[in-house]
Structure 1
Amino acid sequence: MSVPLADAVDIGRAVSAARRAFDHGPWPRLSGPERAGYLKRLTQALRERLPLLAQLWTDQVGAPASFAQKLTPFGASRFDFFATLAEHYAFDDWRPTQRGRACVRRVPVGVAALIAPWNATFPIVSQQIAAALAAGCTMVVKSPPECPFDALIIAECAAAAGIPPGVLNVVTAGREAGAQLVQSRDIDKISFTGSVATGQWIQRAATDRLARVTLELGGKSAAILLDDVDLPAALAALVPFTMPFSGQICFAQTRVLVPRHRHDEIAEAYASVVARMKVGDPHDANTAIGPVLNARQRERVRGYIERGIAEGAALVTGGTGNAGFERGFYVAPTVFSRVTSTMAIAREEIFGPVVSILPYDSVDQAVEIANDSDYGLSGSVFGADGERAFDVACRLRTGNVGINGVEIAPNVPFGGMKRSGIGREGGREGLEAYLETQAIFVPGAAA
């Protein structure tokens, strides 16, 4: 199968369709409960296609089938959440004033450009689309060339649900066409998930016309294992999130911070769990680690491994080889110990199956090491005393922190601090990112 790449004409037509649908169509003028009805029908149509969407995740970018089958339903759950939220959200709030009263309205921001990454297109674009639809926006979705089918399937479901033409427009496009979309003066809001460099460019382009922006960018998340941690339980909960999808997930817990006096014990135990993870064909249900996206990404990851060795980190397992495969872009799951915060492998987002173990001498130092990062997307704290772990979590400068596990929920906002982004997707906050506030003063008796 093939999908045509959008050119400048296609982008212009998609933006024009979304603009007409917002300025003259019914969608922004429907009530929240009315939009919720459409979203519920869309969700049902999506649920019928979840097996196809999971298979596409594996076929398009090599996500292990077990991983794809587990995470694909999260996309549908986001539509469920925003349908319910739209049904009950108070879009109008009446308040008393000196002259009478005011209606504080939450109105759709306008036409949104939704730009999704290749690594987790369906869950991420589902969150963007569902929130924008619930708010009453119209939109142009830019699908990545590596993963073009997911948003098209959502658009198919939207049409089946009766969502009016022009509300949801999908284009598959590369960088140049994406730049045209971002720079269009008919785009009022941009939601982007991807690299820091592209996010910075989008921020600058949006600033010229003060377009609203939500950016979910990179991560270098730290998992802190406290000295009272139940190690077997912690590893069972943590390891799947240290290199999910071969480490090609933004919230991967790629820095593991451990008490210095337990460093060797934890490093050995962690490496032994990683060594038992099956590396192989992503279509095999038993595979935990598949290939990385392409040859360029494989060489990038190998370069970081070589740099880690050169900078003095101890290679516990893995390395730069092809994990025993003659074909495919494989990198053996790699674990470094005795890593310091000055090393590149501890500071830069590798986007591959590489994890660094860093020792600390006190909880204060663990917090300092965790926060000594340009990024602040995710993190976790593991310990037997839940209250103590919560106190440590509250000291971390990162958007999301898990206690004794890692979790993402549709009703909870997700996003980062520092270079990990601006704004939040998901939760009530995710809906409000697609709304503007308008106050209308009405003279007369106060309500």
Structure 2
Amino acid sequence: MIEYSTALSSNVRERFFIDGEWVASHSGARHVLVSPATEKPFMSVPLADATDVERAIAAARRAFDSGPWPKMSGAERSVYLQRLTEEIRLRLPLLAQLWTEQVGAPITFANGLLPVGITRFEFFSELAKTYEFEDARPTRRGHARVRREPVGVAALIAPWNATFPIVSQKIAAALAAGCTVVVKSPVESPLDALIIAECAAAASLPPGVLNVITAGRDEGAQLVQSRDVDKISFTGSVATGQWIARAAVDRMARVTLELGGKSAAILLDDVDLSSALAALTPFTMPFSGQICFAQTRILAPRARHDEVVSAYAEIVSKLKVGDPHDADTRIGPLLNAVQRDRVRAYIDRGVKEGARLALGGSGNVGFDKGYFVEPTVFADVAPDMTIAQEEIFGPVVSILPYDNIDDAVRIANDTPYGLSGSVYGRDPEQAYALACRMRAGNIGVNGVELAANVPFGGYKLSGVGREGGREGLEAYLETKAVFMPTAAG
């Protein structure tokens, strides 16, 4: 457990970071953080109001319009990003504990995934040095200089479930491109971005380049609708993403939206089940299934369906459920009571619609406190069942039988989502051919992977645009062509 009065500075605990300064909230309102494992409050944080939002936007606007940041070369910005990265690296153990305490992520999971945030800062820092922000192209009367310029002020809205790695990707890409940013931290996990702000201050980023506030829905809407915000990057629910898209189109603000998934893992006929499940299982209900790319639908050849159900359920039954601070825990609590009850309702609906419970489903996890749901595996799931169509965001996995490859492709693509997926078989090229037919933005062959140099995003309701890779940098750039005549003489 963390002793917050000593582990966190008073700035992180009590203030926002605006225009290079630590400032108190305008209203003095606070939000109480509650441990999902114990249901006990452990600290409170200040909340922003409309005045705070306006202060943050104005600071970012000044820094973009009048400050040095967008005028710097990519190599110059890279120097700051490298310093920022090293400051963050020093705080990784603290960030892991905060992830566990704020939202219940098992500490082993947190320690394993946190370095992803660092690799994202490292990638965009290096890319800023090498990216061609301008090139020349011949034209009839001379040449055109094609410039890629920062889009402007970017509003970065992070989710509660994996705040550090996700907000790291947004911040690193936006800053590498030359944008100035306002980060809206979620009220459930507000501390991650504030620690990054502390690192930015230590790295001497120019005032107003990075601004961080903690705010709720109304203030988020204010940020999205501001005419001083040129770009919005949001990760979260479909409903909120759709609202943001509608609000942005009114003034043609640029948007990147990552909105969740219902990912399918396809096991081919010849799959070595033991090796496939060893690679797949950690990604079926990571962080109790509260990760957007969780592989929550397993598609098995009909002839091997029962074998897959038995083998997978046996593995999941051995995953330790309990205290997320325990290094042996693999399934911790859900975020809160609302999330817990929502997941239980999905389990009840799966039973009512005719799916067979192969594991769990009773709701009995043996804890008096904490928002726990036992790992649940459904067998004989039909593609049109609710549990096979909607994102549950809990430790619930459906196993669906298929008859042939075409049937597997049809089932995999038959949801409103298209974020992630995976294919498992003895021949990687056969698996690749199947992956090419899946309507999803990220598909693994014989495994699931995150890589900072590879774009991440989805088809259909899973969102618009990509984060990560060169594509992630370009999401924060506008393209300008300047036509030049042939030089005289």
Letter in 2 for 1:232: S
The question of whether the paired residues in 2 share the 8 Å contact of 1:190 and 1:213 is answered with yes
Percent identity between the aligned chains?
74
Match of residue 441 from structure 1:
483
The question of whether the paired residues in 2 share the 8 Å contact of 1:103 and 1:439 is answered with yes
Match of residue 6 from structure 2:
none
Separation (CA, whole Å) in 2 of partners of 1:300 and 1:78: 33
1:409 shift after superposition: 0.2
Match of residue 364 from structure 1:
406
Match of residue 303 from structure 1:
345
1:2 shift after superposition: 2.6
TM-score normalized by the length of structure 2? 0.91
The question of whether the paired residues in 2 share the 8 Å contact of 1:322 and 1:329 is answered with no
Letter in 1 for 2:211: N
Match of residue 354 from structure 2:
312
Match of residue 139 from structure 2:
97
Match of residue 222 from structure 1:
264
**SS state at 1:3 partner:** strand
Letter in 1 for 2:375: P
Match of residue 420 from structure 1:
462
Tell me if 1:274 matches 2:293. no
Match of residue 385 from structure 1:
427
Alignment of 1:172-251 (within 5 A): 172-251=214-293
Alignment of 1:38-187 (within 5 A): 38-187=80-229
1:227 shift after superposition: 0.5
Match of residue 18 from structure 1:
60
Match of residue 355 from structure 1:
397
Match of residue 49 from structure 2:
7
Separation (CA, whole Å) in 2 of partners of 1:445 and 1:80: 40
Match of residue 328 from structure 1:
370
Match of residue 401 from structure 1:
443
TM-score normalized by the length of structure 1? 0.99
1:99 shift after superposition: 1.7
Separation (CA, whole Å) in 2 of partners of 1:140 and 1:227: 49
* Count of residues in Structure 1 that have an aligned counterpart in Structure 2: 446
CA displacement, residues 76-103 of structure 1 (integer Å, 9 cap, x when unaligned): 1100000000000000111111221111
1:242 shift after superposition: 0.3
**SS state at 1:336 partner:** strand
Separation (CA, whole Å) in 2 of partners of 1:37 and 1:309: 56
**SS state at 2:145 partner:** strand
Stretch of structure 1 that moved more, 259-268 or 313-322:
313-322
Letter in 1 for 2:235: T
Letter in 1 for 2:184: K
1:67 shift after superposition: 0.2
Letter in 2 for 1:250: C
Separation (CA, whole Å) in 2 of partners of 1:324 and 1:424: 41
Separation (CA, whole Å) in 2 of partners of 1:46 and 1:326: 37
1:318 shift after superposition: 0.5
- Where does the alignment leave 5 or more consecutive residues of structure 1 unmatched? none
Letter in 2 for 1:117: P
The question of whether the paired residues in 2 share the 8 Å contact of 1:95 and 1:102 is answered with yes
**SS state at 1:401 partner:** strand
Letter in 2 for 1:6: A
